Amino acid sequence: MPRPCRPPLKAVAMILEIAQIDVKPGMESNFEAGVKTAAPIFKRAKGCKSVTLQRSHEMPSRYRLFVQWETLENHTVDFRNSADFQEWRKLVGHCFASPPNIEHVTEVMRGF
């Protein structure tokens, strides 16, 4: 007998910001320290639920920052227009090899 499908996701799905960040070679430790220092900035940001940083194995100067937001506007309006966004950029912006590539996604399926 087939298992029943999972219940549908919440009517209002969270937004996941995925920032691909290429860091200047040799600045990886500074960048990681800056992100760690910035964790409280994200924690107090309106609608921010979590932040995770991952580093590429194949391209060690490439990172992906995953930030979970309640709404798209929490990131694109509330955070981006805040003094905390400027502080975030002060902590890590000097490490960027190029501007981060930002994308927002919503979960549509979870297998298990």
Query: Which range, of 10-14, 55-59, 72-76, 98-102, averages the lowest pLDDT?
Result: 10-14
Q: Is the pLDDT of residue 7 over 90?
A: no
Q: Is the pLDDT of residue 56 over 80?
A: yes
Cα 95 to chain centroid, rounded: 16
The predicted structure's pLDDT at residue 12: 66
∠ at Cα 19 (7, 64), nearest 5°? 90
Pick the CATH number of 15-64+73-99 from 3.30.70.1230, 3.30.70.100, 3.10.20.340, 3.30.1480.10: 3.30.70.100
Q: Is the pLDDT of residue 27 over 70?
A: yes
In percent, how much of the chain has pLDDT > 90? 88
